Amino acid sequence: MYEYHVEGGFPIKGTIRASGNKNAALPCIAAALLTDEPVVIRNLPDIEDTQVMLEILAALGGTVEKLGTNEYRLRAETVSRRDIPLELSKKIRASILFAGPLLARCGQAILPPPGGDVIGRRRLDTHFLALTELGARVDIDGQFTFTANKLIGRDIFLDEASVTATENAVMAAVLAEGTTVLTNAASEPHVVDLCEMLNSMGARVSGIGSNILTIEGVSKLGGTDFRLGPDFMEIGSFIGLAAVTHGSLTITDVRPKDMRPIRLAFGKLGIRWDIDGTTLSVSAQQDLKVNSDLGGMIPKIDDAPWPGFPPDLTSIMTVVATQVEGTVLIHEKMFESRMFFVDKLIGMGARITLCDPHRAVVSGPSTLHGSELVSPDVRAGMAMVIAALCARGESVIKNVYQIERGYENLTQRLVSLGAHIHRVSAC
């Protein structure tokens, strides 16, 4: 077990490269099960979650070969088992993503309930509804058993725009007989990456980037060599860190179109950046002042399915808002427990009123003071790192395993930017 020791008050400065998209990496690893040919994935982030997914692939009979930094060759020439090991499934919610590929490849998938972040109820119903529409049977008895003699393409309206349910349905449908139409599909950049990788393997997915996906089933998929796009959640986190520490930061390998909804939200807090090609630059000179809505009304930053503001950045924005002059409402509509971490920020000196499990009113700027913190999930954990780095004094952050599930080489990269943070053994 490790913890972070942080001394706040030092502006970050320098250049970093954006890591590969964590939420694209996880389904793309699972998709390697859909073919018996080699699948090379490049720009794969070196984080705990990707390592667990690679372990699951290996446990199912696949081979995993590291080619170089952030590059892996995967091959599932044979699939020796249909069940996800319990000890791996409980580590990561994305283990559910093996359901679609296992069904399509083997006709059966057995999964223990998935683990992952504790951020409120995260329903799996949409996965079950989509896969049963394609012809699967689902039995629930302490674990989930999916079976199908044959998957048949259907016209499916998803009951919510779930990212992972969309990904599972697409991965099952690419080898189904006939055509599948998914309406109310998720369209996040990581869903786009998965669909584009599947097409590079010989799938026929159209409507990519929209909420209506059409999948013409094929009999077989081949191998591919695919590069993941950048992680816009990580990019948004580093933008927030630069702003609240009054630092200047350059981030390379950015995909500008992914940043559009994020730019709007940061703009409400008086934070701007420039993009030249794939390079994003954050200046140390920021307004850091809330831009009121018309009539002087308090603005709202609220999350929504893409192309709305991504929910994984609401925790980051809450911390950033504590350092901005004015009042803003943070409305986390998608997960009912994600805002409960604000009690730690209040303990550090933030002026936050938690209205209910979904809404917090933040008034700033507030002087934060170092504290002892515990990371509850990936994004709230990173929010605590940002808070600690802009606070006065020293902070200790425990349970950093949760943070490192989603941020690659975090302490090394922060130190390279001038942050005073150390990863030490908690024993």
* Cα–Cα distance measured from residue 20 to residue 17, given in angstroms and rounded to the nearest whole number: 9
* 279-282: strand order across its sheet: 13-17, 248-252, 279-282, 274-276
Sign of the C-alpha dihedral, residues 216, 222, 228, 229? negative
Question: Catalytic residue at 117?
Answer: yes
* Cα–Cα distance measured from residue 124 to residue 114, given in angstroms and rounded to the nearest whole number: 10
Between CA 320 and CA 330, with CA 326 as vertex, the angle to 5 degrees is: 55
Sign of the C-alpha dihedral, residues 292, 381, 332, 256? positive
Structure tokens at 253: 């390998």
Determine contact, residues 214/181, Cβ cutoff 8 Å.
Answer: yes
Name the catalytic one among 36, 83, 117, 258.
Answer: 117
Determine contact, residues 20/41, Cβ cutoff 8 Å.
Answer: no
Structure tokens at 290: 């809330």
Q: Which residues are the active-site residues?
A: 117
